[in-house]
Amino acid sequence: MAITSLLTNVPTGPCLFITVLCAVFASIVLKKPFTLNTINKPPENPSKEPDAPVSVNYFPSRKCNYTCGFCFHTDTSSYVLPIDEAKRGLRLLKEAGMRKLNIAGGEPFLYPHLLTELLRYCKEELSLESISIVSNGSKIREKWLRENCQWLDILAVSCDSFNPETNKKIGRGDDGGNVVRLFRIAGWCREYGIKFKLNTVVNTHNWDEDMVANIEQLAPFRWKVFQCLIVAGENDDETRKRDARTFLVTDEQWRTFCNRHKHIPCYVPEDNKSMASSYLLLDEYMCFLDKGEGMMTKSESILQVGVKEAMRQVVWDKKSFVERGGIYDWRRPDMLQQSVCSGGGSTKELEW
């Protein structure tokens, strides 16, 4: 009552000061923190949201110069989104919680200038933790890597065999030069500080191949080994651009390949069950794809309905995403590091 009586006879400025001072004093006595408002609260981290698109696989184009017989994302469209629209979509994804972007295809290096624009924007404007590219390796040039390495964390190259004739049977070009290019690209990655990754699809043409010596020599930090997958509506019969049924391996053949290579530290296998709905896929129109059970379906474009609404229209199994190792050490190191396969490096997983 005494303080109230006093304040009624004090001008407005000093009155406000005394009020704040009393509140601070009370907070000290009562041992409770004092805050005038919540403006200075730390910002919410969108990637902590239950359905945040933490890691997105983006296909800016379906166009490809190879004809791999098991491909589930064939070049049925020649559409490429205007760069400003692509950037707008990437910003929406970042704001929704995206931390890692993987650019795949098609063959991304058919559009090297587009890749440069996307990488620079995602690193300099959006500050993404990690950007990776998956390529068949046929169009990668040292000059491009040298000029763009500061924005690229991971470069993954697909290699299904170290036998030129087997690669031809699969559809990976007809010049037999895949393996020579692969070792050259791995060397460039080491030179320019880019993490080198390898992807292999186990199919009827390579399941009995022993790749141990070549993998240890290439020394990728991560070797993803996929079981050949049928996606309804994409590669499931003779009416599609690809018919992958003749490329499917039996469970016994899959286990045989896995058992032969599982001792390699960088080896990361993914069977059909693990892959089904654990990837968040974004097509050339920026629609999410659902390649789980049944026909592949797609959402409306995030450019039209936003990220959250588009994600509600597909199934993304976050639990499977985590269990298959979707969160890993995906950031480019400040200095060159030894790979896991060569005995160094780290596989410490990032916090979810």
The structure tokens 């959402």 sit at: 299
**What pLDDT does residue 346 have?**
39
Choice among 15, 22, 64, 258 that is catalytic:
64
Choice among 22, 71, 122, 228 that is catalytic:
71
What's the predicted TM-score (pTM) here? Answer: 0.80
Q: Give the closest residue to 229 by CA, choosing from 69, 72, 57, 76.
A: 72
3-state DSSP assignment of residue 36: coil
Q: Is the pLDDT of residue 38 over 60?
A: no
> Which position has the higher pLDDT, 46 or 2?
46
Choice among 15, 22, 68, 159 that is catalytic:
68
Average pLDDT for 255-269: 97
What is the pLDDT confidence band of residue 11, given thresholds at 50, 70 and 90? low
Bond preceding residue 173 cis, omega within 30 of 0:
no
- What is the pLDDT of the chain when averaged over all its residues? 82
What is the pLDDT confidence band of residue 336, given thresholds at 50, 70 and 90? very low
Our answer to whether residue 122 is catalytic in this structure is no
Distance, CA of 52 to CA of 127 (rounded, Å): 17
The structure tokens 């924007």 sit at: 121
Bridge partners, residue 3, by sequence: none
What is the pLDDT confidence band of residue 334, given thresholds at 50, 70 and 90? low
Distance, CA of 178 to CA of 172 (rounded, Å): 8
Our answer to whether residue 71 is catalytic in this structure is yes
Our answer to whether residue 64 is catalytic in this structure is yes
pLDDT tens digit sequence for 205-252:
999 999 999 999 999 999 999 998 766 556 555 556 566 688 889 999
Average pLDDT for 278-289: 92
- The fold for domain 51-323 equals TIM Barrel (3.20.20)
Going from N- to C-terminal start, the domains of the chain cover 1-41, 51-323
**% of the chain with per-residue pLDDT over 90:** 58
Q: Which of 232-236, 252-256, 323-327 has the lowest mean pLDDT?
A: 232-236
SS3 helix, strand, coil % of the chain, rounded to 5? 35, 15, 50
Phi, psi of 154, rounded to the nearest 5 degrees:
-135, 135
